[in-house]
Structure 1
């Protein structure tokens, strides 16, 4: 049995094992490379370069995220944490203002208030958005 890598736009698009003739099984426009005996066996999405009559494969390394992407990811994560914090304190703001919370609920409400304030200030941390020190949920 042989293993073939289908190459598309310089990447391994598919791996296929067969005992049959790969050239007869698929459309002739497909580029299939026999990778059965390679020491550095390629995986899906690896880069593939034809060089000196053969193929060279290397692990795909995604480009680093832009600062805007990192900011968007951080703010999306912040929103997830904030939603959970809001769920944990739902209805407590009015009760706190009216003085209806007992001591334990008041402590919980205040702890979450500090937590939510810290979440809202993550963009003011040094190193943001590349390095974020996430506050710990109460």
Structure 2
């Protein structure tokens, strides 16, 4: 999986991870830089981005701490994933499907959970992200 940073006005305004080429995920007129080799301490939302002859460097106001925005977004995402995992564990849906004892309703509910995971992974494709996020509802 590769990690990319979108650069707008000399700042990182979005971070995105994908197995696909970034051009397949976003419009071609957006500037995305491969930052797979960098850690959260080296790049985050609002990091300053400078291109020196094709080599990108990034600096954050306090490189030792992730930004408040990154912390808030990761916390919200992790909270939603934890709720989803709690529901799947409590209902044993994946096991019912695997063992062939799931009802049609069980299968539909599991599909809804899978769609939720997909929707959650795509929140950073929303217009206005990261300042405005419409979180998908839990199924």
TM range (shorter): 0.3 to 0.5
In our comparison, the structure showing a higher alpha carbon Rg is 1
Q: TM-score, normalised by structure 2?
A: 0.46
Give the TM-score of the pair, scaled to structure 1: 0.47
